[in-house]
């Protein structure tokens, strides 16, 4: 398949600075304005040859359009200028293959492509890898969920209503494999945060991956998790949380309630993936903040894998978002860990 490039110019819009907020609820520690769009081009890791495309696109998976962003390992464009690519209908001879397995980033329960800000790009540049970032259904610019607070239903293959207690299993075993197939990715590195970390672990328990990096994963439900999510509901209904999340989601109510309702449901209290985690075969890096209001150190200690297979990092002065609370340390640990992986 030939390499197709479209004209594009890099947009260097930067998110605003953080304001003093109640950091006991991590989602409140967000800039009030949205994330600038990265429009630079790159060569993705794809079966069938290398080709360029817009960095952001929409892909249909499980009867929903998901927003997907591609990040290059660096800003070089197969020898072209870093800021502008031109239409190239013929294959470019000598376009080198990617040297490292790409990273797929899986966001938190209230996250999205934009919510990551530019951190995935930092990781990709530091590790020399390409990256893919996507928003799950109901988040970011992906399709919303109809009647998100209604009873769970599926008609003509399309989901509506509240998330079921096994929603992370569905994301890991149905949605993510289909998305990877659409992207032509085979056994990538998975890098997940919070709910995304749990999805990464579940996917790796049944599918081949090169490595699994998890930040603040949920392998079981703890009282501390439920209490913090109850606080988040109050902050969304009567505080500033809704306004701070709104720039990152096309339908902020859909994004919040599908997450909050299922986590506070009685059926979700039995969520426990510790047994699934024992089926992982890939090397794993687990990072947990010592001050995480959403989970204790048990969340990584209970990922019961042989000592040679898993590395656990406990970050001091760090809450639920290691990549925001301890950016340099988190990036350094991930870079070091992935240096030893394909």
Dihedral of CA atoms 131, 331, 301, 269 in degrees, nearest 10, equals -60
Tell me the pLDDT tens digit for each residue of 14-52. Answer: 333 222 223 344 444 443 333 332 222 232 323 333 333
Q: Model pTM greater than 0.75? A: yes
The Cα 234–Cα 223 span in angstroms is: 17
Angle at 132 between CA 76 and CA 329, to 5 degrees: 85
**Is residue 260 in some structural domain?**
yes
Q: What is the pLDDT of residue 337?
A: 98
- Judged against a pLDDT cut of 50, whether residue 161 lies above it is answered with yes
Residue 213, domain CATH: 3.40.50.1820
Number of structural domains (the chain) is 1
pLDDT at position 158: 81
Please give the average per-residue pLDDT across 63-78, as a whole number: 78
* pLDDT band, very low/low/confident/very high, at 13 (cuts 50, 70, 90): very low
DSSP 8-state code for residue 16:
P
* Structure tokens belonging to residue 48: 């069938």
What crossing angle do the helices spanning 119-127 and 327-338 adopt, rounded to 10°? 40
Is residue 5 situated within a structural domain?
Answer: no
Structure tokens at 107: 């966001």
Is a pLDDT exceeding 90 seen at residue 209? yes
* 175 token code pair: 């949605």
- pLDDT tens per residue, range 261-278: 999 999 999 999 999 999
User: Which domain, by its residues, includes 332?
Assistant: 26-338
Cα-Cα-Cα-Cα torsion 254, 255, 261, 262, nearest 10 degrees, comes to 120
Task: With respect to residue 14, please indicate whether it lies within any of the assigned structural domains.
Answer: no
Cα distance between residue 13 and residue 183, in whole Å: 27
Coil, strand, or helix at residue 42? Answer: strand
User: How many other C-beta atoms lie within 10 A of the C-beta of residue 74?
Assistant: 13
Q: Flag whether 10 is in a domain.
A: no
The verdict on residue 170 lying in a domain is yes
Query: If you ran DSSP here, which 8-state letter would residue 94 be given?
Result: T
């Amino acid at each position: 398949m030939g390499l197709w490039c479209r004209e594009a110019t890099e947009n260097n819009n930067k998110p605003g600075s953080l304001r003093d907020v109640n950091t006991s609820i991590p989602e409140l520690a967000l800039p009030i304005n949205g994330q600038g769009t990265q429009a630079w081009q790159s060569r993705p890791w794809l079966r069938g040859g290398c080709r360029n495309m817009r960095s952001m696109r929409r892909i249909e998976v499980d009867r929903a359009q998901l927003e997907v962003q591609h990040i290059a390992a660096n800003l070089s464009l197969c020898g072209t200028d870093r800021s502008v690519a031109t239409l190239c209908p013929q294959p470019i001879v000598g376009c080198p293959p990617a040297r490292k397995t790409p990273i797929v980033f899986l966001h938190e329960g209230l996250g999205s492509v934009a919510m990551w800000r530019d951190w995935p790009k930092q990781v990709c540049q530091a590790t020399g890898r390409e990256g893919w970032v996507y928003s799950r259904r109901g988040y970011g610019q992906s399709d919303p969920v109809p009647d998100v607070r209604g009873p769970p239903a599926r008609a003509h293959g399309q989901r509506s209503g509240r998330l079921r207690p096994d929603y992370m299993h569905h994301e890991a075993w149905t949605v993510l494999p289909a998305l990877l197939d659409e992207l032509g990715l085979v056994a990538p590195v998975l890098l997940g945060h919070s709910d995304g970390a749990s999805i990464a672990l579940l996917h790796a328990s049944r599918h081949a991956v090169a490595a699994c990096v998890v930040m603040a994963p949920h392998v079981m439900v703890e009282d501390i998790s439920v209490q913090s999510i109850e606080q988040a509901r109050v902050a969304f209904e009567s505080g500033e949380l809704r306004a701070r999340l709104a720039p990152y989601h096309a339908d902020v109510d859909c994004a919040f309630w599908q997450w909050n309702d299922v986590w506070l449901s009685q059926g979700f209290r039995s969520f426990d993936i510790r047994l699934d985690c024992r089926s992982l075969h890939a090397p794993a890096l687990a990072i947990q903040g010592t001050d995480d209001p959403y989970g204790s150190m048990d969340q990584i200690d209970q990922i019961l894998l042989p000592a040679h297979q898993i590395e656990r990092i406990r970050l001091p002065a760090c809450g639920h978002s290691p990549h925001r609370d301890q950016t340099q340390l988190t990036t350094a640990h991930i870079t070091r860990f992935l240096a030893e992986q394909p």
